[in-house]
Structure 1
Amino acid sequence: MAEPLTDVERVLKLSDRVRLLVAISDEIPVETKLNVQGLLKIFEGTVAAAESAADEVRAAGYYQALYQDLEPYADIEALLSAMRVFAPFL
């Protein structure tokens, strides 16, 4: 039987889905796609390594930047909102 996912693993899985939707979306300008891909990579690394309150604040900052860039796209915004269920510090 498969082990249940941790909250961090769930956030990282949602982040992978965001990355995929950004890559295949025709609505998102290329400049935004490039910016978001870099932010996602940094965000994932920060979330995966978050051990202190300062790390959580840093991850929340990257999350806010991602959310601001991707909020106009409903599918992606829904995935970003779902991340807050598993990581309330976002």
Structure 2
Amino acid sequence: MYTYEPKGVCSRKIDFDIKDNKIVNVSFLGGCNGNLQAISRLVEGLSVDAAIERLKGIDCGGRGTSCPDQFVNALETLVLKK
């Protein structure tokens, strides 16, 4: 299980697993519950690279980041070690 503390967004924690380069068991703590449930379900089963390609750079309210973008940061930092 990976755990990431996002910065600059409403959610406070992102938990997820990677199995065979596929994203599984994604959950966000805090933030916009309905939207974050949707993101979790939509990325379930995606490859790490596909999720990064789809979600990187999404902005929320002019913050320069968003919960999906922070999930990309989590993938790059914890999984890809960038």
Higher relative contact order (CA 8 A, sep 6+): 1
Q: Which has the higher strand share?
A: 2
Name the TM tier (shorter chain): 0.3 to 0.5
TM-score (norm 2): 0.40
Normalization by structure 1: what TM-score?
0.38
The structure carrying a bigger helix percent of its residues is 1
